[in-house]
Amino acid sequence: MSAFPRVALGLLMFLLPAAWSSAAPLRIATFDVDATPPLGSPCAYRLAERILDPLHCRGIVLLTDQKPIVLCAVDWLGIGNGGYDAWREALAQAAGTTSERVAVHVLHQHDSPRCDFTVERLLSAQGLAGRFMDAPFAQRVIAQAAQALRKAIEHPRPVTHIGLGQAKVEKVASNRRILGPDGKVKYVRYSSCRLPEAIAAPEGTIDPYLKIIALYDGRRPLALLSYYATHPQSYYGQGDVSADFVGLARTERDRALPGVLNLHFNGAGGNIAAGKYNDGSKQNRPVLVERMARGMKAAFDHLERAPISSADVEWRVRRVRLPVRDTLNETNLRARLEDASLDYNQRMMAAMSLAFVRRAAAGHQTELSCLRLGNAYVLHMPGELFVEYQLAAQKMRPQSFVALAAYGDYAASYIGTAIAYGQGGYETGPGASRTAPEVESVLMSAIGELLK
């Protein structure tokens, strides 16, 4: 072979990988819109009387040679049923993708709104419109988020590297369920606690680590995705609107890293809260903020960077039917919803359970998803998931970086482990969890498939 063909062949072999990579570069678009309700709007436990700090809807769009992937986190209590469908469909349309490639989660702050158009329709039919949620406000935020996303993808930025890190968060998370000698729940250590025996009990089963995935353009971080499992309440129900200590810690990181989108997700915190370290006083909120922000900074400071391309990005979906607990009966729930002699909260709870039961009866399947970024795997799960699911997922891939975002479709509310349903306690009681004990085998099997 002459020198020219050898040089030409060598040049071609050099250029082909570059051509392949340039055909599908990994890019990112980010968006951030205000999700603060107007004064007088219903929040979870009271009408909004004061705005202490703003609520956010933040998200990213990952652009490859496949359809776009959208991740979104909202500072609301819960988004479920028809509300969850509306959010995903609007963001999917704006991004030019399908709803199954959209993950929407809430951070579950209690001084924030709900969004479930299915439940709102059930209550409206009984003359109770506008007490559960401010539907026009929710629709505006959804539209604004979709518009912000649409504008963001007009100017995406390249992603060349990924950073992975984790750090312990000290004295925030503790398990809510304290068992007695008989194996039953003796105390429920809620988000705040003043019972000496419960405070003195060990932290219990938690995931102490806050995980961060960073996406870079060269050396410049563009977005930080953080994950930590706990209920985010310090105090609530006094008419304030607040992103609480997780949102305020996120704001601290915004100040430290201007121009970087800090996108936080609540992990499997259904049975986790700050009760061991929080007495519910207003003075303790800044303490929890500082501890949370310190964990976020430590995880960021220990990031390990590596190159990444669109070939390293994969989206996986599994659809499951969440089993309905046998105490939920459509006829009884409908009767309670229609019974004007009951107080509003009883009728509201009946409507929430009825919405879940009817969707299940209609064959509705809950979509679980997993985003793979190289050797990092992020699970997107529904409801107030118990932390045992998160810990089990990490054990399934011990050599990988595994993070989990719960509080997706909120329709099921608490989702416990099989054994937890026989232990008593609030979280797996008939007023809190709408799933049957068999839910553990359904979800663990699906998680295993997603992580293969």
- Would you tell me how many other CB atoms lie within 10 Å of the CB of residue 10? 10
How far apart are the C-alpha atoms of 90 and 73, rounded to whole Å?
14
Q: What is the pLDDT of residue 335?
A: 98
Q: Bridge-partner residues for 214, per DSSP?
A: 163, 224
| Both tokens assigned to 49 | 């009387």
In the predicted model, is pLDDT for residue 15 greater than 90? no
CA distances (Å), origin 299, targets 65, 203, 216, 380 = 31, 21, 16, 21
Report yes or no: 211 and 299 within 8 Å, Cβ to Cβ: yes
Q: What is the pLDDT of residue 432?
A: 97
CA distances (Å), origin 442, targets 56, 79, 287 = 33, 22, 39
CA distances (Å), origin 377, targets 310, 401, 448, 452 = 15, 6, 12, 10
How far apart are the C-alpha atoms of 189 and 202, rounded to whole Å?
11
Nearest to 157 by CA among 96, 212, 104, 218: 218
**Span 95-132, pLDDT tens digits:** 999 999 999 999 999 999 999 999 999 999 999 999 99
Question: Which residues, other chains included, contact 429 with Cβ-Cβ below 8 Å and sequence gap of 6+?
Answer: none
Report yes or no: 293 and 253 within 8 Å, Cβ to Cβ: yes
**Span 358-374, pLDDT tens digits:** 999 999 999 999 999 99
User: How far is residue 217 CA from its own chain's centroid?
Assistant: 26
Three-state secondary structure string covering 5-36: HHHHHHHHHHHHHHHHHHHCCCEEEEEEEECC
Residue 335, helix vs strand vs coil: helix
**Span 247-261, pLDDT tens digits:** 999 999 999 999 999
Q: What is the largest CA-CA distance in the chain?
A: 95
**Span 262-310, pLDDT tens digits:** 999 999 999 999 999 999 999 999 999 999 999 999 999 999 999 999 9
| Both tokens assigned to 225 | 């995705």
**Span 45-92, pLDDT tens digits:** 999 999 999 999 999 999 999 999 999 999 999 999 999 999 999 999
Q: How confident is the model at residue 24 (pLDDT cuts 50, 70, 90)?
A: confident
Q: How confident is the model at residue 16 (pLDDT cuts 50, 70, 90)?
A: very low
Q: Is 280 left (phi over 0), alpha (psi -120 to 50) or beta?
A: left
Nearest to 276 by CA among 208, 207, 202, 206: 202
Amino acid at 351: A
Nearest to 435 by CA among 411, 451, 400, 419: 411
User: How far is residue 151 CA from its own chain's centroid?
Assistant: 24
Report yes or no: 266 and 390 within 8 Å, Cβ to Cβ: no
Q: What is the pLDDT of residue 222?
A: 98
**Span 236-250, pLDDT tens digits:** 999 999 999 999 999
**Span 395-452, pLDDT tens digits:** 999 999 999 999 999 999 999 999 999 999 999 999 999 999 999 999 999 999 999 9
Report yes or no: 373 and 162 within 8 Å, Cβ to Cβ: yes
Q: What is the DSSP string of 52-99?
A: SS--EEEEEEEESSSS-EEEEEESSSEE-HHHHHHHHHHHHHHHTS-G
Q: What is the pLDDT of residue 434?
A: 98
